[in-house]
Amino acid sequence: MADTTPWMKVFPNALAITNPGWFVNSALLIVSTGALLFAQPDAGREAGKLETLRLMDSRAARFKELSRRLWENPELSFEEFKSSSLLAAELRAAGFGVTTNVAAIPTAFVAEWGTGKPVVAVLGEYDALPELSQHPIPERKALVTGGAGHGCGHNLLGAAGAFAAIMAKDHLQSRGMGGTVRFYGCPAEENGAGKLHMIRAGAFKDCDVALTWHPDDRNEPGMRSTLANQGAYFRFHGAAAHAGRAPEKGRSALDAVMVMTHAVELLREHVPQATRVHYIITQGGTAANVVPELAEIRLTARHPDAAELDKVWSRIIKCAEAGALATETRLELELSSGLANVVPNDALAAIFERNMRLVGGVVYTPEERAFAVKLRATLPSDTLPPLELAGLIQPIQTETTSWSTDVGDVSWNLPTGEIRAAAFVPGVAAHTWQSTACAGMGIGQKAMIVAAKTLALTAIDLFHDPSQVEAARRSFDKILAGKKYISRLPPNAKPELKKTR
Ligand SMILES: [Zn+2]
Ligand SMILES: [Zn+2]
């Protein structure tokens, strides 16, 4: 029964007709007037969506509270033990079956309800960032000095995804409809590419569509493409020596890092315009009077096109080899992260846009407006967009953005749609103390409800109208044009569960 047409699910009595004449007449009417085929279920669907919005208003406080509990307990990548437990418990209480330890990651889980097709997934993240601890106030004040904070708003991301999945499930259940709702508890988006491990473990194999969102300073229904990236630790091994007494006996690993970074800086002039290269020196010796035996640099390169990125990457490796050659040290290369660019999906963006316009943007109370004005006073005034941006729904944007996300890898495996909602005051960038403050108070929580509603309505649309799932698949096939997904995760890579960041 799970795969019967939607109008039969909505009107199950149609399967138990005892008057054959009525049935034949009705069937003829339906065949002869195709437009009528979906007229009744569409009316039911629209009413159901409005009912879902009303229900979500009545339950919003619970999920705002959940997001706040996540915010108060910021956990770094792969350490999201309490956060993943809180979300899994909420889904379990709502009737979902929960599988934990997905891909052998203790903080990854999949919650599922229902049977049959389509399988619609909502993705959630919940990891925080180091050193962004912050009170929910418009001035810099850490809750815990040096502590972690939800500067990317993943506390909102996770809570909204769970809320949307639960509401889509309630809609199916109340109407006796078939289909499967899943919530993917995805750890380590910030640092560890959790979704790549989940993909490799086959967690997305039978999924038809994935829906997600991300906090931003505006409301966008479409998903822009992002940059593919590749990261690695470049480690140089030299020979220690007394820097004053016997420098000629030393081979400086730090010198190798300096030659490499100089070569990388020269390389910048000769790479395609859209390339990004950035690095930190993670080890550079311990004492000025000891020639450093070990030095390490962590470097990331990005480009919108994975093939172009590969070309740049091979040249960066030559820069590293040059460092080792010039200083007579040994290079050790350890790939760390590598993400695919996002594959946008026109069909899903169109459904998102309709639903987001129905839901509306973020409307501030006078207190929230005062918070926003004060927070914006901490930013350079020449970069500020209008405050009213929070209440508007942007048209679908198509240009590529310059960040990377592991949602990109999911989008290479199945049709994926992502929206953005104005959780941060317009002008506030993610990964800042200002964004951490927003994610812990009313403005962030309102955007979370905008996102949850838009995701829930879109899932409901997909369950009612399987042709939209097929349209999403066509959009996916068209943009990839036969290109195959290649994971940038090294073949034997294990999740960096214990890695020092
Ligand atoms: Zn982030
Ligand atoms: Zn993020």
Q: Which residues surround ligand 1, an ion (CB under 5 A)?
A: 152
Q: Residue 188 in 3-state DSSP?
A: coil
Residue 386 alpha carbon to ligand 2 centre in Å = 23
Whether residue 263 is found in the same domain as residue 360: no
Q: Which of 20-29, 164-173, 332-341 has the highest mean pLDDT?
A: 164-173
Q: How far apart are CA 28 and CA 42, in angstroms?
A: 20
Domain span including residue 12: 6-36
Closest C-alpha among 66, 228, 28, 81 to residue 163: 66
Mean residue pLDDT across the chain: 91
Ligand nearest to the CA of 129: 1
Whether residue 262 is found in the same domain as residue 238: yes
Whether residue 81 is found in the same domain as residue 211: yes
Give the confidence band of 498 by pLDDT, cuts at 50, 70, 90.
low
Answer yes or no: is 99 within a domain.
Answer: yes
Whether residue 434 is found in the same domain as residue 312: no
pLDDT in tens, 446-455: 999 999 999 9
Return the number of other C-beta atoms located less than 10 Å from residue 485's C-beta: 14
Q: How far apart are CA 223 and CA 348, in angstroms?
A: 9
Residue 149 alpha carbon to ligand 2 centre in Å = 12
Answer yes or no: is 496 within a domain.
Answer: no
Residue 462 alpha carbon to ligand 2 centre in Å = 26
The domain spanning residue 240 has which CATH number?
3.30.70.360
CA angle, 420 then 423 then 276, to 5°? 60
Q: Based on DSSP, count helices (H) and strands (E) in the chain, helices before strands.
A: 15, 10
> What pLDDT shows up at residue 382?
85
> What pLDDT shows up at residue 19?
34
Whether residue 189 is found in the same domain as residue 280: no
Answer yes or no: is 365 within a domain.
Answer: yes
Whether residue 218 is found in the same domain as residue 74: yes
pLDDT in tens, 276-309: 999 999 999 999 999 999 999 999 999 999 889 9
pLDDT in tens, 480-497: 999 999 999 888 888 888
pLDDT in tens, 47-101: 999 999 999 999 999 999 999 999 999 999 999 999 999 999 999 999 999 999 9
Distances (CA, A) of 408 to 310, 331, 402, 415: 17, 30, 13, 11
Q: What is the mean pLDDT of residues 338-365?
A: 97
Answer yes or no: is 488 within a domain.
Answer: no
Query: Tokens 């639960």 correspond to what residue?
Result: 166
Domain count, the chain: 3
Answer yes or no: is 432 within a domain.
Answer: yes
Answer yes or no: is 349 within a domain.
Answer: yes
Whether residue 217 is found in the same domain as residue 71: yes
> What pLDDT shows up at residue 336?
83
Q: How far apart are CA 426 and CA 428, in angstroms?
A: 6
The answer to whether 400 and 229 are in contact (CB under 8 A) is no
Whether residue 184 is found in the same domain as residue 100: yes
Whether residue 246 is found in the same domain as residue 114: no
Give the confidence band of 21 by pLDDT, cuts at 50, 70, 90.
very low
pLDDT in tens, 381-414: 887 999 999 999 999 988 888 888 999 999 999 9
Ligand nearest to the CA of 430: 1
Whether residue 140 is found in the same domain as residue 168: yes
pLDDT in tens, 160-192: 999 999 999 999 999 999 999 999 999 999 988
- Do you find a cis peptide bond into 118, omega within 30 degrees of 0? yes
